[in-house]
């Protein structure tokens, strides 16, 4: 089992054959690509793409930083979807190899749930819906194309989906 520490949280423990540390992939070295922290194939065979941040800029006091924040999240999750698909479709042997056993057991058929999650550990529950709405609007095209669920979650909700051990 492995754990992943990002943005003040320890994710896992996970079966290493069901996790792809996409952000640390050698495939990204030397390329102008940003990616999410990791991809996890859950025991229920849902595919979760996880980006973690410790905080979000205040949209009222820092509107420019707030927009830049969501642009960065868009870029990471969009790139990650494409990188994941390229690896699963064996477009790059090195990438498919880096994905390990996950590449052999992860078809992208219609039964596969895909979730794009931004985890902000200390975000109060009452702020989650508006931030989820913002993220869903930024990733609208990806949500539609991939039939993906797009959400902002906190540590409590991360525990309910198995991302962290309580």
40: its two tokens = 């996890």
- Supply the pLDDT for residue 39: 96
Q: Can you point out the beta strands (E) in the chain?
A: 2-6, 9-14, 19-20, 38-41, 47-52, 114-119, 148-153
| Per-residue three-class SS string for 13-56 | EECHHHEECHHHCHHHCCCCCCCCCEEEECCCCCEEEEEECCCC
Q: Which residue has the higher pLDDT, 129 or 105?
A: 129
Q: Is the pLDDT of residue 107 over 70?
A: no
| For residues 78-86, average pLDDT | 95
**Strand pairing category for 19-20 and 47-52:** unpaired
Q: How far apart are CA 48 and CA 158, in angstroms?
A: 11
Q: Is the pLDDT of residue 19 over 80?
A: yes
Can you give the pTM of this predicted structure?
Answer: 0.93
DSSP-based three-state secondary structure for 106: coil
Beta bridge partners of 115: 48, 149
Distance in Å from the first CA to the final CA of the chain: 16
* Residue extents of the structural domains in the chain: 2-160
pLDDT tens by residue, 115-163 = 999 999 999 999 999 999 999 999 999 999 999 999 999 999 999 999 9
**Strand pairing category for 114-119 and 47-52:** parallel
- Supply the pLDDT for residue 49: 97
Q: How far apart are CA 145 and CA 158, in angstroms?
A: 25
Compute the mean pLDDT over every residue in the chain, rounded to the nearest whole number: 93
Q: How far apart are CA 140 and CA 106, in angstroms?
A: 24
| Closest to 118 measured CA to CA, from 105, 107, 130 | 130
Of 4-8, 31-35, 42-46, the one with minimum mean pLDDT is 42-46
pLDDT tens by residue, 52-72 = 999 999 989 999 999 999 999
């Amino acid at each position: 089992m492995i754990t992943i520490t990002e943005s003040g949280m320890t994710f896992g423990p996970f079966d290493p054959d069901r996790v792809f540390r996409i952000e640390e992939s050698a495939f990204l070295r030397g390329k102008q690509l940003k990616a999410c922290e990791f991809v996890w194939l859950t025991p229920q065979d849902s595919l979760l793409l996880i980006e973690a941040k410790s905080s979000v800029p205040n949209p009222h006091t820092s509107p420019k930083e707030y927009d830049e924040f969501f642009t960065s999240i868009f870029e990471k999750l969009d790139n990650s979807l494409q990188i994941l698909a390229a690896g699963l479709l064996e477009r790059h042997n090195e990438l498919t190899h880096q994905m390990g056993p996950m590449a052999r057991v992860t078809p992208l058929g219609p039964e596969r749930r895909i979730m794009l999650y931004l985890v902000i550990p200390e975000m109060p529950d009452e702020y989650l819906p508006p931030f989820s709405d913002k993220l869903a609007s930024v990733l609208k095209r990806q949500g539609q194309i991939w039939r993906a669920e797009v959400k902002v979650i906190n540590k409590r909700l991360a525990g309910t989906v198995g991302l962290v051990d309580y």
